[in-house]
Every structure is written in C-alpha cells, then in structure tokens.
Chain A
C-alpha cells in the first residue's frame, strides 16, 4: 500500500506564558492509503495537535509532513487552504456547523471554493446527504437536528469534495451510543467501500475498535501499545 501521510521528525512547541510546552518531539510515523487509524492517549498528549498538523491547520515547529506526496511545509497559507479544500475532510466533536445555514447549505460550503456550477453543486449535495441518510432533512437548520444528525451533516460536508483523507477529532464524543454507532458505521463504510483513509482521534475504546489499527500517543511518542 502506498503511504499517504508521512511524518518525519515532527516537533511542535507552544508558548504558555513564560514556559515552553513541548507537545510533540521528533515524531516520525506514516499512514498508508486506505488505512483506518484510531489515535488514542491521555488528555493533553497532543492528539488533536497531531491531527491539526496533518490537516495543515497548524505548522510544525520543526520536521516534515507530507500528505499524498505533497510536502505541507512548502505550501503558503493560502495554498494550504486550497490544498485542504481538495484533499482533506475534517469532522469535529462539536460538529461546527454554521447555525444560520440549512443542512444542505452547510454541506455545500466546500464546493463554493470550486468552479462548479449551481446545478452541479446541488447534485453533489443531494448525493452526499443521501449517503449519510439525511435527504429528508436537507432544509433543516442545525438547531432542528439531533446531535447524531448534526454529525452526519458534518460528515457529508467533509466528504463532499471527495477528499482522500478524513481527519476526525472525537467524532462520537458528544453522542449517545446509538447515534455514535451510526456515525461509526458511516465511517467504516467510507473507508471500506470508498477507500478513504481515516485518522480518528478518540477517547472511546468502543469507537477505537472499529478502526483497522490503534496507535497510542503519550509523552510525544506514538506506539502500538498504551504506555503504562
């Protein structure tokens, strides 16, 4: 399998007042295409940070990240944005839907950055919503949807531009068991049937078990076993 995500000696520091916090130190890892990776670890271990770095929302203090052959360090701020729109889909714990937009318009958002015409966009939105099973809720606002439904809209938005990589930050964290399972079913289907590579940060072992493999991030290192 070809490598999709390649991390080489990645470090990330934050300034917290007078202190420097070393979140990640010289991390190297890779994620093959078509992988469904669950990332677990204690709070503050840097899981979300790692996800953000891979998705290009943040830049490493040192080291190289390349995704699908594209070195992210080489890209400017605006180029990163464009790249992200095409290649990455984000799914958040708190969904982050725009409350003033209907479900359909929320899903459409990434397409506004492309050259697609109105009818094409409508088609794709319909397809995405149908995939997540929410065609009948297309005109509803987030406030009118349940948590699980909101997350599924979030997934539809994440896949609408047909990215190769999906990055999920605690996707089931705010959902009850049933809704959570529906979401995980979707993710599984996206991975197995559509070949999307998924990296999922989660606290929940139940969710982690749905992935193909699990890695643990602790004290800046990534390993197959939880550190005792």
Chain B
C-alpha cells in the first residue's frame, strides 16, 4: 500500500496516455455489460424457468389449438398438482407495429401457477372482479403509458368477435412486475371467459397448458406420461419442461450466446493489445528509472509486481467504472426497445465474468512489460543513461 503513490505516479507520467488507456478499458467493459443485458433478454428467461412446470402444446406446432376438455384429464392425473390454460390472442393497439403478447387465462389458476407475477392485492382483486379487465406487465405499461383504469381497444386479426368486428375492449385493472429478476413483463393477461364468450369461433379450444407437478424430479416422466395419454388422438400433444420450452425459442433465434462471445472476444483481444502496448511503452521509457530503483535496492520481484500493479490499477479503475456504468444504464435506463424485450438486466454470472475479465486484462497486458522489468540488467540500463 505504501507503494501506491509510486505506482500512481508512474501512471501520471504520461497523463494523456493513461487517460486514453483508461477510456479504452472503460468503453470495452461498458460494452460488455450492456451486451450482457441484451444477451440476457434473449436467454435469461430460461434460467428462471419453473423447475416444477411443464408446457403442453399441440404436437404439430404451438399455433395449433388444444381441446379444453384435456384440462380435466390432466388435472386428475397422479403427480399433477395444478393445470391452467393460456391462449394466443395476437392483438395490437391501433397500428400493427404496436403488437405485443396478450394471453386469455384463468385468473386465479394463472396467478397460482406463476408466483413470479408480482401485483398488489388491490389490483388483483379488481381484476378478478372485472370480466373485461386485464393485468399488464410493467414493460407494456412503460411502452404505452397505460394506467389502471384506462380503457383500451385491441384489434385481433385472428379472433373476430361475435359482433362481427376484430376490436375488443379491455380495462386495465393493474400492472404486474417481475417478482423474480428476468421474468417477462412484456405481455398482458385477461379473462379466458371474456375471450371465450366473445370469440366467433374456436369454441372449446385453448392455446396451451401449463402444468405443475408434485415432484420436480419426475418432471420428464410426467411429461412422457401426459403425451402418451393423448397419443393417437386427433390432437396429439408435446409436453416439455418450461425450461426446455423456453430454450427452444432461444435456439430458434440462433446461437445468441456464441455471437455475444465472439463479439466480446474481438473487443477484449483488441483491448489486450492496446493496454499491453501502452504498458510496454511505459516500461521501455522508464528503463533508466527502473535501473535506479534497482540500485537503491528494489529487487527484481518488486519491480515486476510494481509494473503488474500499474496495469492492474488501470484495468480495475477503467473496467470497474465501465461495468458500473453499464449496470447503472441498464437498471435506470431500462429496455432500449421500450417494451419489446421480455426482460433487460445483467445476470449475476455475467457480472462475475466481467470482474474476472478485468483482472485478466490487468494481468495479461502487464505480463510482458513486467517480465521486461524483471529481466532488466543494471549495467545495460545505467549505461544507456550515462
């Protein structure tokens, strides 16, 4: 610690250079943090998927509906503790570009199935009481600025209603937040009864089932059992764990993780070069000074650790500021697409990775120069000076 002023002053030697190097590190880690949030938006849901939940869809594809009659049969199956249904409403607000997800559900059943939905008791009761009411996620509320009490009309191209048009009226009963970080709040849930009564076709059909099993260990077994139950029927099913189901979507988008890793690798590689080069320059310019310190009695090892400390200091200051700023922007700025992304946050594992990378940058970029300092031959260095 007493060496800190010495280390600091070495950096202060060429202030401009140090500042620009710090900025490079800062930018790199700011980018890392922000991209991590984007990555989490695509991948994060999988992490928090319920360990005891299954999703059952039509075997052909999830856009094909399932009979409502299946619910009873699933409910009464051994090992199943709850079943609830949801469907795809497919509506948009005024213009097609204002589309978002809306699900007609069984209110009590859905909220029980998803304790991650965090809504005030008052708003919950208001929703239960109003057949035409809807709960919107925080992401939707932010995007459109809707408040509880607002009446909003939605157009559903798929679901013509009984009066012949495609417009459905809803009242916002409340806004729900993510009880668990990363839970999707870019959708709306409303009463299945309202939907069923109003739609001109599709009687007796629902979109998919969400099923809770008693024993998470038997998740896969139960899934197979349920599919076997409906095999060879006109509407066969495909049941998977919620995690697999969500992972399937992620896989469909493509290998986001790989793309992210690739970009970050290029960024870091370049960063190593920049900071490493700066450190090397700095050491090269200071051979005489380093030699003097050796004369005064500083050992090789001490010089090595001092140079390493310099690069570490730059990395930690710049990288720490970059990660911190990214975190700040992500948490206060929120979703850059204003509601299209299901969630937007930096996962803990990525923060940890960020810190490790900061240390790596410090170590790798300082390694060669530190070794140069270690290997400094007194005479050669002093003679250069004299």
A-side residues, CB < 8 A to B, are: 48, 52, 55, 57-58, 77-78, 81-82, 84-86, 90, 92-94, 96, 98-101, 105, 109-110, 112-113, 118, 157, 169
Q: Is the CB of B297 within 8 A of A82?
A: yes
B63 within 8 A of A: no
Q: A58-B379, A98-B289, A100-B13 are in contact. Are A112 and B6 (CB under 8 A)?
A: yes
Q: A82-B299, A85-B296 are in contact. Are A100 and B2 (CB under 8 A)?
A: no
A20 CB, min distance to chain B CBs, angstroms: 16
In the bound complex, CA of A134 to CA of B10 (Å): 24
Q: A57-B379, A100-B13 are in contact. Are A113 and B298 (CB under 8 A)?
A: yes
B17 CB, min distance to chain A CBs, angstroms: 13
Q: A48-B386, A96-B385, A105-B5 are in contact. Are A57 and B295 (CB under 8 A)?
A: yes
List 5 contacting pairs A-B, 8 Å CB cutoff, sorted by A: A52-B378, A84-B296, A90-B296, A93-B386, A109-B296
Q: Is the CB of A57 within 8 A of B382?
A: yes
B3 partner residues in chain A, CB cutoff 8 A: 112
Q: Is the CB of A110 within 8 A of B297?
A: yes
In the bound complex, CA of A110 to CA of B293 (Å): 8
Closest residue of chain B to A82 (Cβ to Cβ) is B297
Number of B interface residues at 8 Å Cβ cutoff, please give it: 26
Closest residue of chain A to B293 (Cβ to Cβ) is A109
**Interface residues of chain B: helix, strand, loop or mixed (majority):** helix
B353 within 8 A of A: no
4 nearest A-B residue pairs (beta carbon) = A85-B297, A100-B9, A96-B292, A78-B299
In the bound complex, CA of A26 to CA of B35 (Å): 69
Chain B 1-29: CB-based contact to A (< 8 A → 1; otherwise 0)? 01101100110110000000000000000
Closest residue of chain A to B301 (Cβ to Cβ) is A78
Q: Is the CB of A99 within 8 A of B379?
A: no
A157 partner residues in chain B, CB cutoff 8 A: 296
Given A58-B378, A86-B297, A96-B385, list of 20 further CB < 8 A pairs? A52-B378, A58-B379, A78-B301, A81-B300, A84-B296, A85-B296, A90-B295, A92-B292, A94-B386, A96-B289, A99-B13, A100-B10, A100-B12, A100-B13, A101-B5, A105-B9, A112-B2, A112-B3, A113-B302, A118-B2
Q: Is the CB of B288 within 8 A of A96?
A: yes
In the bound complex, CA of A85 to CA of B300 (Å): 14
Chain B 296-314: CB-based contact to A (< 8 A → 1; otherwise 0)? 1111111000000000000
B9 partner residues in chain A, CB cutoff 8 A: 98, 100-101, 105
A88 CB, min distance to chain B CBs, angstroms: 8
* Interface positions of B from 137 to 177, Cβ below 8 Å from A: none
Which of B5, B12, B297 makes the CB contact (< 8 A) with A113?
A: B297
A47 CB, min distance to chain B CBs, angstroms: 12
In the bound complex, CA of A209 to CA of B322 (Å): 63
B243 within 8 A of A: no
A82 partner residues in chain B, CB cutoff 8 A: 297, 299
Closest residue of chain B to A157 (Cβ to Cβ) is B296
Closest residue of chain B to A78 (Cβ to Cβ) is B299
In the bound complex, CA of A105 to CA of B9 (Å): 10
In the bound complex, CA of A137 to CA of B323 (Å): 42
Q: Specify which of A77, A96, A110, A169 lies most central, judged by the most chain B CB atoms within 10 Å of its CB.
A: A96
In the bound complex, CA of A99 to CA of B300 (Å): 21
In the bound complex, CA of A118 to CA of B2 (Å): 8
In the bound complex, CA of A200 to CA of B295 (Å): 17
A109 partner residues in chain B, CB cutoff 8 A: 6, 293, 296
B238 within 8 A of A: no
Q: Is the CB of B294 within 8 A of A81?
A: yes
In the bound complex, CA of A96 to CA of B286 (Å): 11
A85 CB, min distance to chain B CBs, angstroms: 3
Closest residue of chain B to A86 (Cβ to Cβ) is B297
Q: Specify which of B5, B10, B300 lies most central, judged by the most chain A CB atoms within 10 Å of its CB.
A: B5
Q: Is the CB of B300 within 8 A of A77?
A: yes
B293 partner residues in chain A, CB cutoff 8 A: 98, 109
In the bound complex, CA of A86 to CA of B288 (Å): 22
In the bound complex, CA of A93 to CA of B24 (Å): 40
B24 CB, min distance to chain A CBs, angstroms: 22
Q: A58-B378, A105-B9, A112-B6 are in contact. Are A94 and B296 (CB under 8 A)?
A: no
A138 CB, min distance to chain B CBs, angstroms: 14
Q: Specify which of A82, A98, A105, A113 lies most central, judged by the most chain B CB atoms within 10 Å of its CB.
A: A98
B382 partner residues in chain A, CB cutoff 8 A: 52, 57
Q: A96-B288, A98-B9, A118-B2 are in contact. Are A55 and B296 (CB under 8 A)?
A: no
In the bound complex, CA of A85 to CA of B302 (Å): 13
A160 CB, min distance to chain B CBs, angstroms: 10
Chain B 225-238: CB-based contact to A (< 8 A → 1; otherwise 0)? 00000000000000
A86 partner residues in chain B, CB cutoff 8 A: 297
Q: Is the CB of A101 within 8 A of B295?
A: no
